[in-house]
Structure 1
Amino acid sequence: MKAGKTIDVIIMGREFRVACPDEEREELLQAVAYLDKKMRGIRDSGKVVGSERVAIMAALNITHELLTARNQGGFDMEEFKRRIDHMQAALDAVIPEQDKLF
Structure 2
Amino acid sequence: MSNSAVEITLLGRTYSIACPKGREDALRSVASGVENQLSTLKTRTNNLSREELAIMAALNIGNELFEEKQKNKQYMAQMDERISLLQLTLENALIERSNKDD
- What TM-score, normalized by structure 1, do the two folds share? 0.67
- Structure 1 unaligned residues grouped into runs of 5+: 75-102
Q: Greater relative contact order: 1 or 2 (C-alpha under 8 angstroms, separation 6 or more)?
A: 1
> Are residues 1:50 and 2:49 paired?
yes
- Residues of 1 paired with 2:59 and 2:46: CA distance? 15
Match of 1:61 in 2: 60
Question: What do the CA deviations read for 1:35-62 (whole angstroms, capped 9, x no partner)?
Answer: 0000010011026510000000000000
Stretches (4+) displaced over 4 A? none
2:25 is matched by which residue type in structure 1? Answer: E
* Pairs within 5 Å for 1:21-100: 21-46=20-45, 48-73=47-72
1:51 is matched by which residue type in structure 2? Answer: R
Q: Secondary structure at the match of 2:41?
A: helix
RMSD: 1.3
- Residues of 2 paired with 1:45 and 1:63: CA distance? 19
- 8 Å contact from structure 1 (residues 7, 19) kept in 2: yes
Match of 2:7 in 1: 8
- Residues of 2 paired with 1:36 and 1:10: CA distance? 8
Aligned length: 73
- Residues of 1 paired with 2:64 and 2:47: CA distance? 19
- 8 Å contact from structure 1 (residues 39, 55) kept in 2: yes
How far apart are residue 23 of structure 1 and its match? 1.2
Match of 2:84 in 1: none
Q: Percent identity?
A: 23
Q: Secondary structure at the match of 1:73?
A: helix
Structure showing greater Rg:
2
- Residues of 2 paired with 1:43 and 1:72: CA distance? 29
